[in-house]
Amino acid sequence: MAAEARRKIVAGNWKMNKTVPEALALVRELRGMVSMLRDKVEIVIAPPFVALHPVAKAIEDSNLKLAAQNCHWEASGAFTGEVSAPMLKELGCAYVIVGHSERRQFFGETDETVNKRSQAVLKAGMLPIICVGETLAERESGRTLEVVERQVKGALAGFGAGDVAKFVLAYEPVWAIGTGRTATSAQAQEVHAAIRSQLSRLYDGGTAGQVRIQYGGSVKADNAAELLGQADVDGALVGGASLKAGDFAAIAKAGA
Ligand SMILES: O=C(CO)COP(=O)(O)O
């Protein structure tokens, strides 16, 4: 599938921000701002767990889709404090973010658990947004592609081409997250092209051309168009700028 056939996907990862009333205020504002983009770009928001249910109600009949920020790999059981994929599906989530670098850094996420969570997400009838990305030390030692390819391979182990084609990958260089230091469009394109080339070696047919690869890391209204204009950049995973309706709507428009 040619690049122009991949529909861009812009997602807001709210991380640990917004109480329920704040979340509702944000989506009520956002809904109207992006309604005209309905057929042009896929728009996803990922509020914290506690806000998912009220937000799901508040975005009914809109062109906003819902994502969770993580899930456990088991469907139910004695896992205090965890949330399962079937629970998220039942609330109306279409996607689950898996393997975010903050979870890898602070919560012991590994390539293996990213893979297990992704399997649970797919089994529950949702799709994973799988995050990969190198640290500054890894980039500076010339290991960016090696690290990212290892993470992609680990996350996708055991999945068939038909499933992978529907997945979303997010390249998020750790040094660009929350730092205001975004990757240049050339740096992003280089890694995105390398991931797509890896996918074409791993899977037959058109799979590599169908997988959407988002860029994440200090995406703002004023750099989104340049990043999203790259041949292999199929969307954005937005942190800080997704917490303001106007900023996030402007980034979504850049993807349209
Ligand atoms: O981690 C991110 C999205 O998942 C990016 O965060 P920032 O946009 O705040 O850099």
Are 93 and 67 contacting, i.e. CB atoms less than 8 angstroms apart? yes
pLDDT tens digits for range 183-214: 999 999 999 999 999 999 999 889 999 999 99
Q: Is the pLDDT of residue 1 over 50?
A: no
The count of residues in the chain is 256
Question: What six digits make up the tokens of 165?
Answer: 């084609």
Please give the Cα distance from 91 to 103 (Å, whole number). 23
Are 91 and 56 contacting, i.e. CB atoms less than 8 angstroms apart? yes
Instruction: Tell whether ipTM is more than 0.90.
Output: yes
CA distances from 129 to 25, 121, 237 (A): 25, 10, 9
- For residue 241, the ligand 1 atom closest to its alpha carbon is 8
Ligand 1 neighbours by CB, cut-off 6 Å: 13, 100, 172, 177-178, 216-219, 237-241
pLDDT tens digits for range 5-27: 799 999 999 999 999 999 999 99
CATH number, domain 7-254: 3.20.20.70
Most ligand 1 atoms within 8 A of CB, residue of 172, 179, 228 to mutate: 172
79 DSSP 8-state letter: -
**Cα(30) to centroid(ligand 1), Å:** 18
Question: Active site includes 172?
Answer: yes
Residue (of 220, 150, 135, 149) closest to 190 by Cα position: 149
Domain ranges of the chain: 7-254
Helices assigned H by DSSP within 45-176: 49-58, 85-91, 101-106, 111-123, 136-140, 144-156, 161-164
**How many other CB atoms sit within 10 Å of the CB of residue 205?**
12
Binding residue positions for substrate: 13-15, 178, 218, 239-240
Residue (of 197, 200, 199, 232) closest to 215 by Cα position: 232
- For residue 216, the ligand 1 atom closest to its alpha carbon is 5
- Mean per-residue pLDDT, 172-191: 95
